Amino acid sequence: MARTDDDQRQGQDPAPPTQPTQPAQPTRGSSGRGRIAAAIGVLGELLITAGLILALFVAYSLWWTNVLADREAKKQGDQVRKHWADRGPGRLDTRDGIGFLHVPAMGDGEVLVKKGTSAKILNNGVAGYYTEPVKSAMPWDKKGNFSLAAHRDGHGAKFHGIDKIHDGDPVVFETRDTWYVYKVYETLPETSKFNVDVLNAVPKESGRKKAGRYITLSTCTPVFTSQYRYVVWGELVRTEKVDADRTPPEELR
C-alpha cells in the first residue's frame, strides 16, 4: 500500500527549530571608517563648491568688470565728445575728461583720460593723470611730465598690452583742439610700486637729465597682480591742430 504524504512526513526526523536572524553588528573599526568616508565626502563637496565660487569670482573680475567698465567708458567718452562739439574750439575743462589717449601698439581703441588715479576713477575703464604723490603736468604745459595710470586687468584693462610697447612707438594724446604726438624712448618692465621718482618732471630713471615735455604710462605687473609697476616713457616730438574732420595724425592712420 502506498504511503501517504502524512505517513512520509511522520517517518522523517523533525526539522530543527529556526532561530530569528540577528542583524550583523558593525565592529568599532568599520564604524570609524564610515565616519571618515562621510567626512571626506562632505569635504569634497565643499571643495567643489569653493572651486565654483572662485571660478565665478575670477570670471567676474576678469570679464564682467571689463564689460561694465567698457560700457561706462564709452558713455563718458561720448559725453566728452558731445561737450567738445557743443562748446566749439578751446581746451576742455578737467571735470569730464581732458582728452583721449591713442597707443597703436596696445590696439586700435582710444582711452579717455580723467583727473585722478583712485580706484573710483580707474574702475570706470579710463586712464587717469596723477594729482599725488607727484602732480602731473598737462600736455599743453611748456615743461613737465604728463603721467598716467590705468588698470592692466579687470575694470576695462586699458593698459593690458603695455608690454607690447617698444622704443620708437608713437603715443598720441587727443584734446579738443590739438594732437600731441609722443615717441617712446624707454621702458621699465618692473619697479617698486612705491617708486614715485618715475613720475618726476624730469624722469631720471628713463635716462633724461633735462626738463622737457614727457609722457609716462604706468600700470601693475606681473599680469593679474599688483606687486610691481610697469612704466613706459615718451617724449613730445610735435603737435598738430585738430581740423574740422578730426583727421588723426599719420601715426594713427
Class of domain 61-252 as given by CATH: mainly beta
Tell me the C-alpha distance between 118 and 132, whole Å: 10
Question: How much is the pLDDT for 6?
Answer: 43
Residue, of 147 and 12, whose pLDDT is higher: 147
Q: Report the 10 Å Cβ neighbour count for 87.
A: 12
Cell of 248: 588723426
Model confidence at 60, in pLDDT bands (50, 70, 90)?
low
Write out the catalytic residue numbers: 220
Tell me the C-alpha distance between 63 and 225, whole Å: 16
Extents of the domains making up the chain: 61-252
Residues linked to residue 231 through DSSP beta bridges, in sequence order = 188, 218
Task: Write the pLDDT tens digit of every residue in 6-54.
Answer: 444 444 444 455 555 555 555 555 667 778 877 787 777 777 776 666 5
Task: Write the pLDDT tens digit of every residue in 203-240.
Answer: 999 999 999 999 999 999 999 999 999 999 999 999 99
Q: Where are the beta strands (DSSP E) in the chain?
A: 99-102, 110-115, 127-129, 144-149, 170-174, 178-192, 213-221, 228-241
Task: Write the pLDDT tens digit of every residue in 76-91.
Answer: 999 999 988 887 655 5
**Measured over all CA atoms, what is the biggest interatomic distance in the chain, rounded to whole angstroms?**
138
Task: Write the pLDDT tens digit of every residue in 156-180.
Answer: 999 999 999 999 999 999 999 999 9
Residue, of 21 and 197, whose pLDDT is higher: 197
Residue, of 21 and 244, whose pLDDT is higher: 244
Residues linked to residue 111 through DSSP beta bridges, in sequence order = 101
